[in-house]
Chain A
Amino acid sequence: MAGVGLIFFPAFDWCITPDHPEREERLLYTRDQIQEEGILDLPQFREYRPRMAAEKEIQRAHVFVPSLRAHITESHLIAAGGAIAAADLVMGGKEERACALVRPPGHHAMRVVHGQRGFCLVNNEAVMVEHIRQKLGPEARIAIVDTDVHHGDGTQDIYYNDPNVLHISLHQDGRTLYPGTGFLSERGGPGAYGLTVNIPLPPGTGDEGILAVMESLVLPILKDFQPDLVINGAGQDNHFTDPLANMQVTAQGYARLTELLKPDIVVLEGGYAVEGALPYVNLGILLALAGLDYSHVIEPDLTRYNLRQNQAVTETIAYLIDSVGEQWAQRREADLEGIFGSGDFFQRNRMIYYDTAGITESQRSGIRLCSTCAGWERIETRSDRFREMTCAVLLPWNCCSKCRSEAEAEYEEAAFSRRFRKVALHDPQKDHFTELRK
């Protein structure tokens, strides 16, 4: 019987710092609950070992400054490798769905990595998605639905200009929560406009609100996009007891959300109410994935909270559903020239703050406006930690020959330029990733 494959790697001997939310204890009570429930004895579940991601597999999604080895720990490699192992279970037909409960999380890690942001260093989902695409080929259409309470800005960054990856992030409004982004106006680059979908929910959103968004917005968008695989970045910090956010979702809400979404692969993201939420939310998600009854999964604290969703919140959500739905429906009619200009490149200058590592990165990027493919991208980056300039040249998955020759020429030039200490060329079509440190 095809069922749910569980990859569980709680890294009981790894932490950012001993009292950090991302610490050894985080999945302890989840492990205890899962084992005590005995669900792994049910015919619907099987547990598998993660593996270690190879450096190259990580590099498919990232440009590390100054180098991957300067940052990476084994736990990162196993978390990313756990996500890959989960994907392989599904792609290999061994399991119908898979769930990687691994730590540390990944969705705040962007394409360029100077250090840890939002407890993340390696974007586990992006590493997994790139692995999947190397197997399924460039035409594979993948949808990532990020249900962590924080905006999935790292994953958004990596797939901002990728026409075959739909990134939907549901999160608490960036005006009230880290990382402070994820607004309706962030809709994707010139080659993938409209395929970044942000749904910034008001603080106080509960089961009612998040499920309304799923049913009336996310599911119709997915139906329209017709993905080959649906991936759920399952952060659990929308929970009413989470210490870092202000939402009111329950384990029942998360389970129902999972049941509606029917993701092929679930990858754990954040969630820091380690005792009151995670054991119950994880159990609810696993039961829902397997199609089992989750109605008895109830948090002990539930009766102590008044979780009725405020009327103003309900109205804001109704408005959001309309606006985002309309944006999706009209994404093809958008005035791209008005948004991205009529020059050769769409230029962006950004300051990116790494809260966990305490680094500020300044980044200048340009995406080639191309009518044939998504356009190649050039990134210049430095930070107050790594002051010397790095240049990355990224080819899109559907790179046209013109863009390829331009990008390769650009890389050659950067490689000889004395401005850059490090240059990188990413070529997913050939699965070739070159880095040069001078």
Chain B
Amino acid sequence: MYTIGIDVGGTNTDGALLFGHDMLAVVKVPTDHEDLVGSTRAALEQLLRSCPAGAEIELQLSTTLTTNTIVEGKGTPTAAVVIPGPGLNLDQCGLDLPFHVLSGYVDHRGRVIADIKADQAVDAALEAKRQGAEALAIVGKFSQRNPRLETAAAQAIRGAGLEFSYITLGHEIAARLGFPRRVVTAYLNSQVAAAQERFIRAVQELEEFRTIRILKADGGTMTLAQSRQRPIETILSGPAASVMAALALTRYTEHNVAVVDIGGTTTDLAVVVGGLPVYERDGAVIAGYPTAVPAVYSRSIGLGGDSEVHLTVEEGRASFTLGPKRAGKPACLGGAHVTPTDAISALRLAEVGNREQAVAALQAFASPHGLSWQEAAQGIVDAFVHQLCQAIHAVYDELEGRPVYTLAEFLEKPELMPQVIACLGTPAPAIMPAVGEKLGLPVEILPCSASANAIGSAAARPTTGITLHADTALGQMSIPEMGLFKEIERPALFDQRRARREALERLVEYARQSGLDEVPELDIVAEEAFNIVRGFRTVGRIFHIGAQIRPGARRIRVKEGT
């Protein structure tokens, strides 16, 4: 089976063609921002030449479509209708979006304490429409424990004959706790739904593919149908693709790996523990919006091959700092600025551009400060290494400081610290050996750096997860991802084993719905169980179980000379 991975990035569109685990070809074409499907088509056409006619092909796509739609504010005008109940004053949530408040609320156990008023919902929707909203998000606090109020509000609005191009309900889009993030996620989902729909239609007309899958922020893929319902999950698939590429290419499949992807403007850092990527605790942040979208943990620092170089001389000591902004094209490539790339070129750490131009630029930069070009070049490289090491330390400090809520987790902290650094990006071979030396870690330079995101897209596998919440005292259970809210049959017999079994069985069912033919390994990733005691009697139990398909990437072999 052939697999084509395409990443439509900000500057270039990369493509990679696989046959099974073997990489056959990579391509690169410039991205046309007005026509992302056109860019996809251009990359595809080149790759298809390496495929036999009539071969079965699966296409895996990663695009900046939803990310750009949000960042550039080009989405459908949307408003949120919220049911916050008591708690934090919504005006202090920092919600940077139009919202309309309904009365009524659900408590932390999922009990409806007060119903919504249908006419209030209709009025809110009318008001939203009057202010120009074409799509809606309806979100209630604790709606993932009980979606009744959200559903009732949607029914009232639809029942009144009010038309919206898209309505997202909070419980369908964010299963985790976190009302403001759920509001934002549902809001953005409605905002990008139309753009995603247009994109999907165009993609479907491209070619006959066996399957088409879209890359998500968590590094997994989803079907086109799923991406229609939850387009918001396709944000930030670029950084996710780079982590997937590292997982696909690294020799260290079971290890703790720090993934460093050095680009022109920024360097992205990600973390792999025991062969599995680490995720954001609460969700992706996009354009300043904290969302509940599951995402691969990734930190971007303003340090790259084209970074600005700053030199300060104090008491005869020169010190260099780099970034956080991009200076422009390096001198060795015909630019006007001294950049880290020039230092790399001048010191012959790598063959880049015209070395003489690099040396000349460094000389001009350094001599007013009484430095030789060699000293300046070495200073810049040292600063790069130093700043990168600091950023790597900061990433691990942050992860080690993540709160835990049980003794077991506190006492048996998983070892996160890296055993190896896997690197992507053109400057990596020049810079990373020194970083590895400084951190005392081996460095692995991954092949095909220039097409990493396309490789990551091709290597990604479907990911799916569910969160089961069962409350046997109330006799209710929910799996919001599946829209499942039901009574527990015979709650007195519903114990932890049954809760676990229920979660795993439902996950299999959900995986099938998600277009997975065979169900890979399943993991219970979170498990909590509590006795509900009232008046010194146990009246029930609460189980909270997170289960997922084990994430990961298809291993990819790169033959010499690809």
A217 to B222, CA, bound (A): 63
- Would A296 and B88 count as touching, CB distance under 8 A? yes
Main SS class of interface, B? loop
- Would B532 and A37 count as touching, CB distance under 8 A? no
Contact partners of B113 in chain A: CB under 8 A: 300
Contact partners of A31 in chain B: CB under 8 A: 405
- Would B107 and A35 count as touching, CB distance under 8 A? no
- Would A19 and B86 count as touching, CB distance under 8 A? no
Contact partners of B108 in chain A: CB under 8 A: 29, 32-33, 36, 275, 279
- Would B290 and A41 count as touching, CB distance under 8 A? yes
Contact with B along A88-130 (1 / 0, CB 8 A): 0000000000000000000000000000000000000000000
Q: With A18-B531, A296-B89 as given contacts, are A38 and B178 in contact (CB-CB < 8 Å)?
A: yes
- Is A42 located at the chain interface by the 8 A CB criterion? yes
- Is A335 located at the chain interface by the 8 A CB criterion? no
Contact partners of A50 in chain B: CB under 8 A: 410
Q: With A36-B108, A279-B108 as given contacts, are A296 and B531 in contact (CB-CB < 8 Å)?
A: no
A41 to B282, CA, bound (A): 9
Report the nearest A residue to B537, measured CB to CB: A19
Contact with A along B405-439 (1 / 0, CB 8 A): 11110110000000000000000000000000000
- Would B178 and A35 count as touching, CB distance under 8 A? yes
Contact partners of A292 in chain B: CB under 8 A: 88-89, 92
A38 to B283, CA, bound (A): 12
- Would A36 and B528 count as touching, CB distance under 8 A? no
Contact partners of B403 in chain A: CB under 8 A: 8-9, 47-49
Contact partners of A25 in chain B: CB under 8 A: 530-533, 542
Q: With A12-B530, A41-B282, A300-B107 as given contacts, are A78 and B407 in contact (CB-CB < 8 Å)?
A: yes
- Is B213 located at the chain interface by the 8 A CB criterion? no
Number of chain B residues whose Cβ lies closer than 8 Å to a Cβ of chain A: 43
Q: With A11-B407, A12-B406 as given contacts, are A295 and B89 in contact (CB-CB < 8 Å)?
A: yes
Contact with A along B542-561 (1 / 0, CB 8 A): 10000000000000000000
Contact partners of B282 in chain A: CB under 8 A: 41
A38 to B285, CA, bound (A): 14
Of residues 361 to 419 in B, which have CB atoms within 8 Å of A's CB atoms?
Answer: 401-408, 410-411
- Would A13 and B531 count as touching, CB distance under 8 A? no
- Would B405 and A19 count as touching, CB distance under 8 A? no
Report the nearest B residue to A44, measured CB to CB: B92
Contact with A along B10-44 (1 / 0, CB 8 A): 00000000000000000000000000000000000
A11 to B533, CA, bound (A): 17
Q: Which of B86, B88, B109, B528 contacts A39 (CB 8 A)?
A: B88
In angstroms, how far is the closest chain B Cβ from the Cβ of A18? 6
In angstroms, how far is the closest chain B Cβ from the Cβ of A11? 6
Q: Which of B88, B177, B401 contacts A49 (CB 8 A)?
A: B401
Contact partners of B178 in chain A: CB under 8 A: 35-36, 38, 41
Contact partners of B87 in chain A: CB under 8 A: 33, 36-37, 283, 296-297
- Would B406 and A38 count as touching, CB distance under 8 A? no
- Is B187 located at the chain interface by the 8 A CB criterion? no
Sort A-B residue pairs by CB-CB distance and give the 3 closest, nearest first. A35-B177, A38-B180, A293-B89
**Chain A residues within 8 Å of B, Cβ to Cβ:** 8-14, 18-19, 23-25, 28-29, 31-33, 35-39, 41-43, 47-50, 52, 74-75, 78, 243, 275, 279-280, 283, 287, 292-293, 295-300
Known: A12-B530, A35-B177, A36-B178. 4 other contacts (CB 8 A): A19-B537, A25-B542, A29-B108, A49-B403
**Chain B residues within 8 Å of A, Cβ to Cβ:** 84, 86-89, 91-94, 107-109, 113, 141-142, 176-181, 282, 290, 401-408, 410-411, 528, 530-533, 535-538, 542
Q: List 9 A-B contacts (CB under 8 A).
A: A9-B403, A23-B531, A36-B141, A37-B141, A41-B94, A41-B181, A42-B92, A49-B403, A293-B89
